Amino acid sequence: MVAGVGMAGQGAEAGPAIIIMAAGIGRRYGGLKQFAPVGPTGEIILDYSVFDAFAAGFEKLVFVVSEEVEEALRSRMEASLGSTCQVEYVLQKQMPLPQGVPTPPGRRKPWGTGHAVLTCQDCISTPFAVINADDLYGRGSFTTLATYLRQARDRDSLLDLSMVGFPLESTLTEHGQVSRGVCVVDREGYLIEVKERARIEKRDGGTGFLDKGGRWSPIPPGSLASMNMWGFTPGIFPDLQENFREFLGMAHADPAEVEFLLPEAVNQLLVRQRATVRVLPSPEPWSGLTYQADTARARERIAALVDAGVYPRRLWG
């Protein structure tokens, strides 16, 4: 059973769903960071995200998994959740590709976060959120996003999308470089552009990233980052499918490794004027696991939230 969290009663309007991307294998972390214990009784970050999602009113969980994590994640979630909500598991494989598109020679892995969401299209019929399994977004972030999704409606051929944004500087780690979706937001709070940037780090002169040529490019102070906490309507799936097909038809320097990333897919919708994306500043700090050394910081934050009464000491009762 879920401690302290209720589900909507029968007959109530269906609440939003949530896709949890849990298929990664954590190369920089050096293992399956989805299962790194951070809570006082062995809880993982995903436990807290699910707990917060329930509290915010999400009613269906869709886990995107890989063959490496599927059995372990199923076992853990079934022991914790029982039959308290709708749960589905979607295996993200390299296939299937759109009809007529061949698999590039040497390709062995799935196609990234945009593809992960696309694999869930047969499971989703309501507005839905997307999150990473290894990011601690905070209770307020889930509440803010769920509130928006309940009134999200596509209008005049425009998709009504949303994104929870976090101050970029607060999402960095002192233990190495990170990849983030760096955002440009207009005065009314709508996303103008999101660009996936790799090798972001802090230097004495501020925050920036190294481009493919190794050149340092500064990022404006106060920029927001996408941490893959998105709000979508089901209308995004046909566009996502078409964008994926176009992505596969492009010439890539390394087709065996390139990924169809969710921020870049959303940015393409903005370029084509197919969507508006409302940026919802998070009322909570963010924590996550990129490197092993980040685990201590995540544990400290969880301990503080438990001490403050935000979470019970034993999350599932």
Two tokens, residue 85: 């909500």
Query: At a CB cut-off of 8 Å and minimum separation 6, what does 282 contact?
Result: 137, 138, 140, 141, 144, 164, 165, 166, 229
Identify the three-state secondary structure at position 239.
Answer: helix
Q: Could you identify the residue written with the tokens 């290894």?
A: 134
Q: Could you identify the residue written with the tokens 């959120």?
A: 129
From first to last of its 317 residues, the chain has per-residue pLDDT tens of 333 343 433 334 478 999 999 987 666 665 678 889 999 999 999 999 999 999 999 999 999 999 888 999 999 898 888 767 889 999 998 656 777 777 788 888 889 999 999 999 999 999 999 999 999 999 999 999 999 999 999 998 899 999 999 999 999 988 889 999 999 999 999 999 999 999 999 988 789 999 888 899 999 999 999 999 999 999 999 999 999 999 988 888 888 889 999 999 999 999 999 999 999 999 898 998 888 899 999 999 999 999 999 999 999 87
Structure confidence at residue 31 (pLDDT): 66
Structure confidence at residue 109 (pLDDT): 85
- 17-307 has which fold? Spore Coat Polysaccharide Biosynthesis Protein SpsA; Chain A (3.90.550)
Going from N- to C-terminal start, the domains of the chain cover 17-307
Identify the three-state secondary structure at position 114.
Answer: helix
Structure confidence at residue 94 (pLDDT): 64
Identify the three-state secondary structure at position 208.
Answer: strand
DSSP assigned state of 170: G
Structure confidence at residue 147 (pLDDT): 97
CA distance 87 to 65: 13
Q: Distances in Å between the alpha carbon of 190 and those of 139, 187, 290? A: 23, 7, 28
Q: Distances in Å between the alpha carbon of 9 and those of 54, 57, 84, 163? A: 13, 11, 11, 28
Are the C-beta atoms of 127 and 149 separated by less than 8 Å? yes
Q: Could you identify the residue written with the tokens 């994306």?
A: 277
pTM (two decimals): 0.91
Two tokens, residue 109: 């892995």
Give start and end residues of each alpha helix (H) in 6-56: 45-56
Q: Are strands 287-288 and 191-203 parallel, antiparallel or unpaired?
A: unpaired
Q: Which of 217, 231, 222, 255 is nearest to 97 (CA)?
A: 255
Phi/psi of residue 128, each to 5°? -150, 155
Structure confidence at residue 85 (pLDDT): 80
Identify the three-state secondary structure at position 192.
Answer: strand
CA distance 113 to 64: 10
Amino acid of residue 168: L
